[in-house]
Amino acid sequence: MRKYKKGLENALVTVLLILVAIAAVSLISYYFFSVLRHSMITTGLSISNVQMVGGIITGDLINQGASNITSITIQVHPQNNGTVISNYTNSSLNIPPGQSYAFTLPVPKAIEGNNYVITVIVKYNNGQTYATSVEVIDE
């Protein structure tokens, strides 16, 4: 009779070890897949060919995200002042990944020789937003 109980205890320990192993694998896979999901880059934007001459800013925006850009907001403010002096929004866009968008934006309050910060905020058709900035001098 003692042998029977010992066999039952071994079987119970084995079952418990299997359950602990399954729980550990589940937790590790949950962590791995959540980290992987959050690390995938789905947004991105580059600003190139930016110049400002006589209060007119021109440049190109390149969609480096994984979704279409549906809205762009461009804000301009002096380098040492957060007050926006020019604002442009276009909410009727459809810029696919890898494609560019050329912009021209007048800044009537610009002063030649001053530094300005251009902030670009885009919205994607998947609901995400992305913002980036670049500095430029009015020449």
The predicted-structure confidence for 11-53, as pLDDT tens digits, reads as follows: 788 888 898 989 888 888 887 776 655 545 577 888 899 999 9
Average pLDDT over residues 110-134: 90
Give the pLDDT of residue 2. Answer: 55
Q: Kind of pairing, strands 100-106 and 115-124? A: unpaired
Average pLDDT over residues 110-133: 90
Q: How far is the C-alpha of 12 from the C-alpha of 35, rounded, in Å? A: 35
Q: Where are the beta strands (DSSP E) in 5-68?
A: 45-53, 56-63
Percent of the chain scoring above 70 in pLDDT:
88
3-state secondary structure at position 105:
strand
Q: How far is the C-alpha of 67 from the C-alpha of 126, rounded, in Å? A: 7
| Number of Cβ atoms within 10 Å of the Cβ of 94 | 9
3-state secondary structure at position 97:
coil
26 exposed, middle or buried (CB, 10 Å; 0-12, 13-18, 19+)?
Answer: exposed
